[in-house]
Each structure stands twice: as C-alpha cells, then as structure tokens.
Chain A
Amino acid sequence: MDIAFVIEKFVLVAIIFGISLVIAMYSTYAERKVAAFLQDRLGPDRAGPFGILQPLADGVKMFMKEEIVPSNASKWLFMVGPGLAMLTACIGTAVIPWGSPIAIGDRIIPLQVADINVGLLYIFGVVSLGVYGVMIGGWASNNKYSLLSAIRAASQNISYEIAMGLSIIALLLVTGTMSLKEIVDGQHGWRWNVLYQPLGFLLFMICSFAETNRAPFDLPECETELIGGYHTEYSSMKLGFYLFAEYINMFVSAAVMATLYFGGYNYPGMDWVLANTGPVIGPLIGTGVFFIKIFAFIFFFMWVRWTIPRFRYDQLMHLGWKVLIPLAIANIVVTGVVIAVIEGF
C-alpha cells in the first residue's frame, strides 16, 4: 500500500463526509422550504438572502442550548445514543460509487471509498444498525414515551427489513453481483434497473421510507402521540445529532436508490460526453448527474412527507407483513422465471 493511496482515500473520505454533512444541513432548510411551498407559504427567509443561512443559525442555536441529562437516565448510554445514530448514518456512504474513475496522469482514482464485493449486504447491514441509535437513546432516556417510540422503531425496522431484503434478492437475480460498482456499471446509459425491476423498486422505496423513519412511517417520532418520540428527553446538540442523522439517512437511502435502480452516475449519451470532455471533467459530470438524481429523491421524500398522513400502527404492520412481503416474494418468483425463460434454462 503506497502512501499516495492512503492520501487519496483520506481525501475522498473527507470530501464525502463533508458533502453528506452539508447536504444534511441544507436538507433541513430544503424540508422547510418545500413544506412551505407545498402549503402556499414562504418558509424561512430571514437569515441571509432567501434564508440560506438558516441552517447555520439553527446550528448555532443547537450548540448554545443548555444540555440537559435527566437524573434517572442511563448517563453513558444517553450519550452514546446520538453518536451511534450519527455514526451508522454516515458509514453507509463508504461503498457508494460516486462516479466513474478519474484519471490524473497515469494514476486512476476510483470515486468510491471501498469497492467491496458484498457492498449491497454492507448497505443493508448499516441501515439496520441505524435502529440502535434510536433504541439506545429511547431506552436510556428512562421515559415511557421514548421507550414506546424505541420499541416502535425496532419493530418497524425488523418488519420492513424483510421486505427490503427480499426486494434486493430480485435485484440480485437481475444484476448477478453484490458489488455496487458492478451494479452501476451494468446500468450503462439507459439500461437502468428500474426498467427491469419496477415492482422491486417500489417495494425498496417504501421500505426505505420505513427504514429512515420518514413520513408516512414516522411512528417512532409522531408528535401527536409520543411528544418527540425517542428524542423527547434530548436537548442541545444531542438532539441536533438525532435530527441530523435522520437527514443523513435520507441522503444515503436516496443515494442507494439512485445507485441500485436509477443507474447511479449513468445517463443517456454518457459515452459521447466521456469521450469529448477528458478524463477528469467527464466523470465529474457523471457525479453531477448522480447528485441530481439524489436531490430528486430527497425532494420526493419531502414531497411524500407533506402529502400523506401517518399510518396507524396496525396498518403499518399489516402493510409490512401481509402486503409487502408476499409482493416481494412474488416479485422474486416472477423475476426468476422470466430470467430462466430468457436464458433458456
């Protein structure tokens, strides 16, 4: 392992980390703006032009707030909870391929931190780890509302992970690989997986909504029943971490959806662009396209949030176990049969 490799990866990690934090920051702003526009309002417009400094003001506010630890809380776990939520949210970005490799001189730099051959399983594992932050925080608060919320989050995640995993199996049948890099390269140009797996995409997307605790599956933090849910007792930047982790989760799952089903950094006409723009600009254009897809998904997340009311708990379980899982299994069977027929057994 040469030193240039270490530096290159370190720089890449720093950039991705910075970008995901900035995007999470501005997702809070975008959420408020989108909510406002969907409701014929203006949204935050006081801090800076069009209110673009609002996330900074919110961050300063969060840091300035008094830090309260409930006297009966489990102190150590109470502190670990938000950190864990943040950590599990951030590490998902490690295996996502952000663009095709950049060639500087004779050195080829892949725009992906780690191309592991079980990338899909890694993402799946990290996403399911995300519930630990919520559970630990909810349990450590020593508050019945927080605990109820933590239980809800856990059972919701378990239920929807099954359907999510099953929808990924159908995708694996199509792509034949678990490496995210190879999945993306297999979707060259227009051959996006969503065209082969529309039902799988729909199931995966619904499950992503549930896994990120977004509306209409935001039962763990439903204000009307559970006050603030698992972060009721949190204040200051610990609360900020929880809210932040939610937006990073949203960013990661948007990136995963764009990678798995919408071709990642592939776009129609990319061969011509790559051939005409050189070895650095070309891949970066692909990265830009990838980010446009991510932003479109993030907007979609928000759009859904401000449209659909929250599911009731029994409806949530009904949807997860009795609708999504049978559909996902049927999807696997149909995909398998079609592939077998096409390939002639």
Chain B
Amino acid sequence: MEPLTSKKKVLEQKPLSFAERMYLPAIFKGMAITISHFFKKEATIRYPEVQREFSTNFRGMHSLKRDEEGKERCTACGLCALSCPAEAITMIAAERKPEEIDLYREEKYASVYEINMLRCIFCGLCEEACPKEAIYLDGPIVPSDYLRKDFIYGKDKLVEQPLNKK
C-alpha cells in the first residue's frame, strides 16, 4: 500500500534496560509528579456558592430595558422578531393610552412580548437589530424547567425591574 504520509521514521522497540526493568526509579519519578500536584491549587469551583465569571461577551437571558425615567424602551417595531434566525420571538403591538405615558416611552409598545427559550440560540441578532436599545442578552443562564410551556418567557420575566423597585 502507498504510504499515506511522507513520514519515514521507523519506531523500534528496544528491550528495557536494567534500570528500566527495576521499575523503582520510574515509580519514584511518578510519585514525585503526583506529590507535586498535591500542593497545587485545585481547579474546582464550588459551584452553588462560587460561580465562574462569564466572559464579557457572554450572551445569556434576554432583558427588556427601561430608559432613565423607568419607561419601557421597546416600541414593538418587530425588527428583533424579523432578525431572529430561530424565530423565537413573537410580539403583539398596542397603542399607548394617555394615562400610560409614564410606562412606555414611544406611542406604540409591545403588549405581549414572548421569547421561546427552547428555540432561542442566543446569537444576539435581536440585540443588534434593535433600533431602540431595548433588548440585551445580559442576563444569567436560562434555568431548566419541566414543561415546554414554561420556557416561553413573557414580559413578566423579561422586562427589567422598574427603577424605584430596585
């Protein structure tokens, strides 16, 4: 058969020398290596108490942002839903009533805003598409759950806490 590589090195098995057949030097060498690890810092992170820090460009759970006066920024333009490659976002737009002026920044707002976390691939395209800087993937890891319906997150889970409630 034609050789698959141009490597020509022939490995030959030499019989063990007397020192190697003694085993003990090799064993002591191995034990020196293991004992050196005894004093090294352990790599374990005690998870529930200590959490590993995310990298700065980590994308976690979405949050819908409020502006400086605590009004919701989202204007229900639908660009996020359009940009979403996984089609995870659905929304229903509504018109702002005069008494709701403290709640929503624009005249139009999303009365229903749902993200299906099982569909979402956390690519961050919604974040990039948003003209109002209303959605960011700056939350923690989405927790697990038992039922599929519980993974559809509505505004109750997505919208940031109002300013005065912090």
List chain A positions with a Cβ less than 8 A from chain B.
Answer: 34, 36-42, 45, 303-304, 306-308
Which residues does chain B contribute within 8 Å of A38, judged by CB atoms? 34-35, 37-38
Q: In whole angstroms, what is the CA distance A295 to B139 when docked? A: 50
Partner of B30, one of A34, A39, A40, A308: A308
B contact face: mostly helix, strand, loop, or mixed: helix
Partner of B37, one of A39, A304, A308: A39
Q: Are B34 and A306 in contact (CB under 8 A)?
A: yes
Q: Are A42 and B46 in contact (CB under 8 A)?
A: yes
Q: Are B42 and A41 in contact (CB under 8 A)?
A: yes
How many pairs of A and B residues are in contact by the CB < 8 Å rule?
36
CB-based nearest B residue for A315: B23
- With A307-B27, A308-B27 known as contacts, the answer to whether A41 contacts B34 (CB < 8 A) is no
Q: Are B42 and A42 in contact (CB under 8 A)?
A: yes
Q: Are B46 and A40 in contact (CB under 8 A)?
A: no
CB-based nearest B residue for A300: B31
Q: How many Å from the CB of B133 to the closest CB on chain A?
A: 42
CB-based nearest A residue for B29: A307
8 closest A-B pairs by beta carbon, nearest first, are A42-B44, A307-B34, A307-B30, A38-B34, A37-B38, A307-B31, A40-B42, A40-B43
Q: Are A37 and B37 in contact (CB under 8 A)?
A: yes
28 A-B pairs with C-beta separation under 8 A:
A34-B38, A36-B42, A37-B38, A37-B42, A38-B35, A38-B37, A40-B37, A40-B40, A40-B41, A41-B42, A41-B43, A41-B44, A42-B44, A42-B46, A45-B46, A303-B31, A303-B34, A303-B35, A304-B27, A304-B31, A306-B34, A307-B27, A307-B30, A307-B31, A307-B33, A307-B34, A308-B27, A308-B30
Which residues does chain B contribute within 8 Å of A307, judged by CB atoms? 27, 30-31, 33-34
Q: How many Å from the CB of A63 to the closest CB on chain B?
A: 28
Which residues does chain A contribute within 8 Å of B38, judged by CB atoms? 34, 37-38
Most chain A beta-carbon neighbours within 10 Å: one of B27, B34, B43 = B34
Q: In whole angstroms, what is the CA distance A39 to B41 when docked? A: 10
Q: In whole angstroms, what is the CA distance A304 to B27 when docked? A: 9
CB-based nearest A residue for B41: A40
Residues 34-73 (chain B) with a chain A CB within 8 angstroms: 34-35, 37-38, 40-44, 46
